[in-house]
Structure 1
Amino acid sequence: MMKITKIQFNNFMGYNSLILPREQDEELPEGLIIINGRNSHGKSTILEGVIYAFFGPQAFKMKNAESFITYGESTAEIYVYFILDKTNYYIYRKWSRSNSSIAKKLFRLNTTSGNYEEIKSFDIEDFFEITKDQALSTVFVKQGEIEELASKKGATVRDMILKLFRLDIIDKTLKALDKDKSEINGTKEKLQKRLIPIPRIEQEIEELKVKITDNENSIIQKTGEKKIKDDRLKELPSQELLSALDEFYKINDLNKNKFESNRTDFIEKIKTTEFKVDDKDLEKKIKQKIESLEASQKELEKEKEELQSQTFSKNQEKGGIQNSIKESEDKIAKMEDSLSFTEDKVAKCPLCQNDLSKEHYDEIVTELQQGIEENTKNLDQISSYIKDRQAKLQECSTNLDNINKELISVKNIHTDYSNFNKYQEELVRSQKELDEFIAAHDEIGEDLTPEKISKLKLEVQALHTELRLLDSEITTKMEDVKQDKEKIITKEEEIKKMQELEKQIEDIEVDLIHLSKVKDLVKRFVTEYMVTKRLIKNISIKAERYIKEFTAGQYGSLMIDLAGSTKTGLALKVKDHFNGVNESIEMLSGGDRTSLGMALRLAISELMKVIRPTKDSPKNYPKIDFLLLDEPLAALDEERRKRILKHLVKSKAFSQVFLITHTSIPSEIQANRIFVTKSESNGESSARFERQFQVIEKF
């Protein structure tokens, strides 16, 4: 059994703050609780808050979580305390305008510590063992539903009952069959796309076998060609040997060309000299000539140095005499100037600073002129000597230049003779190495000339190239044969897979035929057993007691006739015990029809707690067994309201019944109440709980 014990709202719709009951230790009781107040004062909000706490905003179509927050506030909170299977719980939700996520927590009372502890992981539908839609259909009777159930006819009534019991599962079954059929068709199409015709694969296998035969024949042919070329290659010297021999010939020819070229040049150069090419002492004579020339070179260089030294010394002496003559001439000139000055005044001798007289002047000039004459004679002798030395120096330089030229020429001849000997030695050595190499290899014939070697090298290279090409072709074809044989195995496996695919497609086609037949059967299936023999029978039994109570015993024996057609739907009849006639519900007064609708809806809610109309219905009875009735009494007069309320006060079919009404409550109805009011100044709703302490007999 489940019982709601306390409800608390913070900023939920019209309620800024709501606690029912307000006293801390008080709990909401079992049985009928009437929520009374004027229209639009917030009565339904209390039940909506309970539903919101358990199932969130998803329980309300066309409304989002933000719309449940009190105007002007940013967050809202709901606490609903309840007892389930003798254990105390409370569920808590908190959400805000700025965050779309909703905090949802479930707490359980620890009887040892006395504190509530959070259940970290839970699913509300698993917890109550009922889906949201089933719970809402079972416990919540919406405003106007009673009148609708009482006033609708035929197929509409039938559809309402089927919907309440979720017997629209037939349509869902058909949709599920269509979905299965579509998925199976999709699977079939995918398989058909993968399906390759087996004859085509067999044709490909035959083509591969022909290709394998052609390649194997080609391998045999090319293997024969390869053997012929291998045999020819064995008859010929190896590529390495031919290359080595060719290299020896090239070196020898190169040395021969160098020697012949150098020999020709040497003969031409030596023709103009005193040497002879065939002279066996040629190198000795060349060296002697060089030594002789170098000795003459040294003597002439020494002589040239002496002549240059003598000429330099005499030139210095000549310069000194010339300076002495010039000085004497300058003195004479000064004496003449001084003598001219003495004609008017007394003058001094510029040489001795004595008084200058004519006699003194003549004496000094005579002496100076004698010196000039003597120096002039000496100057002529020195000039003649210098001229002689210069002539000898020129002759010596000419001889030295000739000696140098001849020395260079002879040295060049010596160098050319050394090169001549070197190239001759290299030719002799390379010829010897060639002869020794040929002698060391018997496979080289005597007629293997350089020209023939080049041809053989080309032939060997061509054979190696052709053999590599043949090896590559044979390897490729062998690999092709191997791959083609593997392809045949793969394609044979593919044939098996295609056979399996064909079998799967055949099986799928059979399944599709079966699905079509099942769908046809489901379409033709009328839930005679579920509705007529089981569901309708139980509704009639459950409703019988309510009808008698609500109509003061005038009506009873509810008969619900399922005509079997959606056009006819359900025909509701009751027996009028006052005249003994079975009356159709359409013939009853409005109040009686509403009373009948109320009886029918309570019977349905009571029945939904315990019956399983189909195998898909929950195996366990739902744990939610309270009832929420929103304005079920609006269309009833006071007498009929009194009968229904008396019954609900005494009934124990539900643990709690929350009944919303804005109508007046007969004074003799002793029931627990919640009074709802609304402030005219700010529109804030408020509610208070009042307990009824009178003992009520229950049946």
Structure 2
Amino acid sequence: MNLKKLHSINFKSIKDQIIPPKKSDKLPDGLYLIRGNNSAGKSVFIESILWGIWGGKGPRKCGIISETHDRILRQTSAKQQKNTCKVSIDFEVNNQIYNIKRSKAPNKTATVKFARVKKDTKNGKDILSDIIIDTGNVCKKLNEIFNCTADEVQKTFYVRQGEVDYLATRSASELREHFQTLFKLQDFTDELKAILDDMINSVDGKISSLEKEKLDIESQKEKLEYIKVQKTKNNEELQKYSEKMKNLLAKLEKYPEISDIKHLIQINDQKQNLKNEISIKNEKLTGEIKNKKEIEAIIAKRETSRELMLADIKNDKKLLENFPDLEDLKQISEKVGAINTLNDEITKNIERFLQKGNEIMGTTLPSDLKLLKKTISNQNRNLKSELKKLNADLESKNKEKLNISKEISKFNALKSELEKNITLLSEKSECPTCLTPIEHENHKDQILDRIEKKITKYIKEETELKDKDEGIEKEIKDLRGNIEQIDIEQDSIDKLLNDLENILRFNVEITEKEKKLKNLFTKLNVETIEDLLKTHDVSDLDELISNINRTKERLHQNEANFEIIKNEIADFHTKLGKINEQSKIIAKEIDDLNRKIEKIKEVIENIYKKMGIIDLDDFLGNFNSATLENLKDKIAEFQIEKKSTQENIDRLKLTINQLDSEIKEIQEKIKSLYNIKKEIKEKQKESNHLNAIKKQYLDKFISQEVIQNKLFKSVKNEVSSYLRQFSDDQYDLKEVSPAGWDKKGIEFVLHDYVDGIDKTTDYLSGGDKAVFGLALRIGLSNLMARIKPFKASEIKPINFNMLILDEPLSNMDERRRENVIKHLNKDKNFSQIFLITHTPELDDAHFNHRILVTKTSKEGSQYSLIPRLSTAD
């Protein structure tokens, strides 16, 4: 695995950090030294990587970082307010880039989004595909990609602070348990046991199947005897049915063929059906003859009614020829009514008009309409002339009043000016006209006297004008009253003239209608309406119109009835023709049916000859049957019994054949019983052998072959290499061997080249234990990627080839720290190594990447990436 990009937001002490900060940059391979003060956030950087990839602990989770009480969320104030934590990581495994984003809000379950990253072939941008958001499925995918779990990473690739000498200080049994877990030896053991269990189950299943087959065959011996007995019974029953069939065939030979009986029944039925049909048709022919006589009687009655109706139609037409035109009579009636109505209306209107006119005019008006119109028109002209004169006087008085108003206004202005002069003279003693100072009081009094006299004069003239104005105002008021009165009279006279015009229009309308009425009388050769009524012997026009309408209606009804009767007679003649035609057809059909009966009689005679029948009753008596149907049923019963007997014979033969087959099959199985018993014994031996391997030899084989002969040797070789490098060739791992009374533990023996002696881990100093513990952890991590129990076993390399070391150098002296750093730089077994340390090392600017960690209360932990200057030789 290669970490390419890390973006952490609100994770513990981190506020918002991207490493590397540039979007296009990726974290390179190599050793990273992470430095900073205590509590600056060095371990937080590592924890954000582990949480971002693996997530938190818990059900359906697969991580190693605790999320309890939201402890991974950054606290932003004294009130312990927490923000949503987010971590996004880009990493590469086997040349494939992946992205994983995890997020956790306060008091909420963390969420995850995992995706594969690929390049868009068109624009080169990153595209996310194969997205997974379910936490459990993401865990499975990570285990599949890395081929290891987070717990295995924690025990190998991640060395936490204070745990560098963890393995160097474990007991023999603890080391054995650690190795079994680390290299999945128990999984391998379980896998072998599962294979053996499958083999044992397969063999035991075969044994069970064979035992069942053996028991089945042994039970078949009893069944064989039962089948033989059943076969004997079936043979006896078959013999009985065969005898019965023989007797039935003998009986059937004495009886005639059922087909001949059926044919004879069918011919007799046809003969009877024809007789029945002839009877029906005779009844139908009788009915048709009866219908014919009834229709002929109806036609005679209808023709008599038609002649009487024709005479009535001729009389009504003659009457209508002598009557005047109905439309002319309607017009005469309409116009006479209209003239009478108009005359009544004129009389009423003239009465109302004269009464109203007498009230308006104040005199008795003439009743003659022309003279009346002339009188009212003259009065109307007089009122208009008087109104014109009054309007002229009113206009003159208004002008005079306006002039008086102007004079009064003029006097008021003069009086106001004089009063101002008095004021000026009193205050300043100056002449109001020339503004010359007045030296003598007498002169002043003279001027004042003159002014006051003028004022008095103006007041008098103004009073006279006001009196005159009041008189004119009264005259104007009287004129307006007279004008209003004349306007009222004028309006009333105009209305009288309008009403009179309406009355005169009625006279014109009456004249027009009388003229049209006269034309109608001329058309009818009469002079008055009385002449018209006398001619037709009626009292009024309504009676004459009623007589005409009744005659027309009677004529119309008679004509309609005449057509109906005419059509009915035609229809009855048509029906009569159809009856005659149908009678001919029926008579012909009866003749045809009689001919068919004769032919059938000939066929029956031929059948009798064929069957030797002289007399049918004697023939039926021979078979104790009353009718041909009885005889047919007897023969049919014999045939049904024959068919049933044959079916039983066939059934019994089939059953006997099946029993023969079962007998043969059981006898063959009995012959194979010896071979089955022999195979059961062989399979039992095989099962016992497999159970012995599983229970007695498997654990010894795993301990001796896998752990001691293979794993211990591989661990010794791998760890020795790192131990020599880290200890500057002072120590070598000499032996890895079983320990404890049961030899199931693990013990390490180191050779000290300085002291020249062998040492167990109990005799190592603190610094030596730290060096050995670090070598052991790194060696085991490297070994996990390529170890396999047997040569034929599949290698399943762990793809998490990143090493994380949290302050592993604290117990080492400066020389050993330098050795560790130098050899970690050269180690190509890990793509990236993240080492947290407080100790400055030589040449790290040229050999190591550095991540410097600082922290402020406002911005939180901040990380500055300083790539190395060159590659070490």
Q: Secondary structure at the match of 2:772?
A: helix
Q: Which residue of 2 aligns with 1:18?
A: 17
1:50-199 counterparts in 2 under 5 A? 50=49, 59-60=62-63, 70=73, 76=86, 78-82=88-92, 90-94=97-101, 102-108=112-118, 115-116=125-126, 130-132=147-149, 139-141=157-159, 145-177=163-195, 179-180=197-198, 183-184=201-202, 187-188=205-206, 191=209, 195=213, 197-199=216-218
Does 1:208 find its partner at 2:211?
A: no
For 1:141-178, what per-residue CA distance to the aligned partner results, in whole angstroms no more than 9, with x for missing partners? 45555332011111211232333233334432354246
Query: Within 2, Cα distance between the matches of 1:560 and 1:164?
Result: 16
Q: Secondary structure at the match of 1:234?
A: helix
Contact 1:539 1:603 in 2 (8 A): yes
1:614-625 counterparts in 2 under 5 A? 614-615=790-791, 618-619=794-795, 624-625=800-801
1:505-520 counterparts in 2 under 5 A? 509-519=684-694, 520=696
The offset of 1:526, in angstroms, is 4.7
The offset of 1:522, in angstroms, is 1.2
- For structure 2, the residue ranges without an aligned partner over 5 or more in a row are 75-81, 133-139, 270-600
User: Per the alignment, do residues 100 and 511 of structure 1 end up closer, same or farther by CA in structure 2, a change over 3 Å counting?
Assistant: farther
Q: Which residue of 1 aligns with 2:699?
A: 523
Query: Within 1, Cα distance between the matches of 2:12 and 2:690?
Result: 51
Does 1:673 find its partner at 2:844?
A: no
Contact 1:154 1:567 in 2 (8 A): no
Query: Within 2, Cα distance between the matches of 1:618 and 1:646?
Result: 34
User: Per the alignment, do residues 146 and 620 of structure 1 end up closer, same or farther by CA in structure 2, a change over 3 Å counting?
Assistant: same
- For structure 1, the residue ranges without an aligned partner over 5 or more in a row are 251-430
Q: Which residue of 1 aligns with 2:275?
A: none
1:262-661 counterparts in 2 under 5 A? 441-442=611-612, 453-454=624-625, 457=631, 460=635, 463-484=638-659, 509-519=684-694, 520-551=696-727, 554-563=730-739, 569-615=745-791, 618-619=794-795, 624-633=800-809, 636=811, 639=814, 642-643=817-818, 645-648=820-823, 650-661=825-836
Q: Secondary structure at the match of 2:749?
A: strand
Note the aligned Cα RMSD (angstroms).
5.2
User: Per the alignment, do residues 553 and 479 of structure 1 end up closer, same or farther by CA in structure 2, a change over 3 Å counting?
Assistant: closer
AA in 1 matched with 2:851: I
Equivalent of 1:230, from 226, 229, 249?
A: 249
Q: Which residue of 2 aligns with 1:221?
A: 240
For 1:363-422, what per-residue CA distance to the aligned partner results, in whole angstroms no more than 9, with x for missing partners? xxxxxxxxxxxxxxxxxxxxxxxxxxxxxxxxxxxxxxxxxxxxxxxxxxxxxxxxxxxx
Q: Which residue of 2 aligns with 1:428?
A: none
Contact 1:5 1:82 in 2 (8 A): yes
The offset of 1:226, in angstroms, is 0.5
Q: Which residue of 2 aligns with 1:35?
A: 34
**TM-score, length basis structure 2:** 0.48
Q: Give the stretch that moved more between structures: 532-541 or 149-158.
A: 532-541
The offset of 1:198, in angstroms, is 1.0
Query: Within 2, Cα distance between the matches of 1:616 and 1:180?
Result: 21
Q: Secondary structure at the match of 1:218?
A: helix
Query: Within 2, Cα distance between the matches of 1:157 and 1:118?
Result: 43
User: Per the alignment, do residues 503 and 643 of structure 1 end up closer, same or farther by CA in structure 2, a change over 3 Å counting?
Assistant: farther
The offset of 1:581, in angstroms, is 2.3
User: Per the alignment, do residues 118 and 565 of structure 1 end up closer, same or farther by CA in structure 2, a change over 3 Å counting?
Assistant: farther
Query: Within 2, Cα distance between the matches of 1:555 and 1:651?
Result: 20
The offset of 1:586, in angstroms, is 0.8
Does 1:7 find its partner at 2:3?
A: no
AA in 2 matched with 1:92: N
Contact 1:10 1:18 in 2 (8 A): yes
Query: Within 2, Cα distance between the matches of 1:581 and 1:512?
Result: 53
Contact 2:723 2:732 in 1 (8 A): yes
Structure having the larger proportion of residues in helix? 2
Q: Secondary structure at the match of 1:470?
A: helix
Contact 1:162 1:168 in 2 (8 A): yes
Query: Within 2, Cα distance between the matches of 1:452 and 1:557?
Result: 123
For 1:423-466, what per-residue CA distance to the aligned partner results, in whole angstroms no more than 9, with x for missing partners? xxxxxxxx999999866632688855659623985865653453
User: Per the alignment, do residues 517 and 127 of structure 1 end up closer, same or farther by CA in structure 2, a change over 3 Å counting?
Assistant: closer
User: Per the alignment, do residues 105 and 11 of structure 1 end up closer, same or farther by CA in structure 2, a change over 3 Å counting?
Assistant: farther
Contact 1:575 1:581 in 2 (8 A): yes
Contact 1:44 1:660 in 2 (8 A): no
Q: Give the stretch that moved more between structures: 221-230 or 568-577.
A: 568-577
User: Per the alignment, do residues 128 and 435 of structure 1 end up closer, same or farther by CA in structure 2, a change over 3 Å counting?
Assistant: closer
Query: Within 2, Cα distance between the matches of 1:5 and 1:245?
Result: 109
User: Per the alignment, do residues 214 and 156 of structure 1 end up closer, same or farther by CA in structure 2, a change over 3 Å counting?
Assistant: same
AA in 1 matched with 2:16: S
Contact 1:65 1:95 in 2 (8 A): no
Q: Give the stretch that moved more between structures: 55-64 or 564-573.
A: 55-64
Q: Secondary structure at the match of 1:147?
A: coil
Query: Within 1, Cα distance between the matches of 2:41 and 2:211?
Result: 63
User: Per the alignment, do residues 459 and 523 of structure 1 end up closer, same or farther by CA in structure 2, a change over 3 Å counting?
Assistant: same
Contact 2:716 2:736 in 1 (8 A): yes
Query: Within 1, Cα distance between the matches of 2:22 and 2:602?
Result: 132
User: Per the alignment, do residues 655 and 601 of structure 1 end up closer, same or farther by CA in structure 2, a change over 3 Å counting?
Assistant: closer
The offset of 1:467, in angstroms, is 2.4
AA in 1 matched with 2:29: E
Number of equivalent positions: 513
User: Per the alignment, do residues 46 and 648 of structure 1 end up closer, same or farther by CA in structure 2, a change over 3 Å counting?
Assistant: farther
Query: Within 2, Cα distance between the matches of 1:7 and 1:631?
Result: 21
Q: Give the stretch that moved more between structures: 98-107 or 605-614.
A: 98-107
Query: Within 2, Cα distance between the matches of 1:102 and 1:538?
Result: 39
AA in 2 matched with 1:191: S
Contact 1:94 1:102 in 2 (8 A): yes
Contact 1:13 1:69 in 2 (8 A): yes
Query: Within 2, Cα distance between the matches of 1:184 and 1:7?
Result: 53
Q: Which residue of 1 aligns with 2:551?
A: none
The offset of 1:668, in angstroms, is 4.1
Contact 1:129 1:620 in 2 (8 A): no
Contact 1:59 1:132 in 2 (8 A): yes
Q: Secondary structure at the match of 1:168?
A: helix
The offset of 1:550, in angstroms, is 4.0
Contact 2:35 2:851 in 1 (8 A): yes
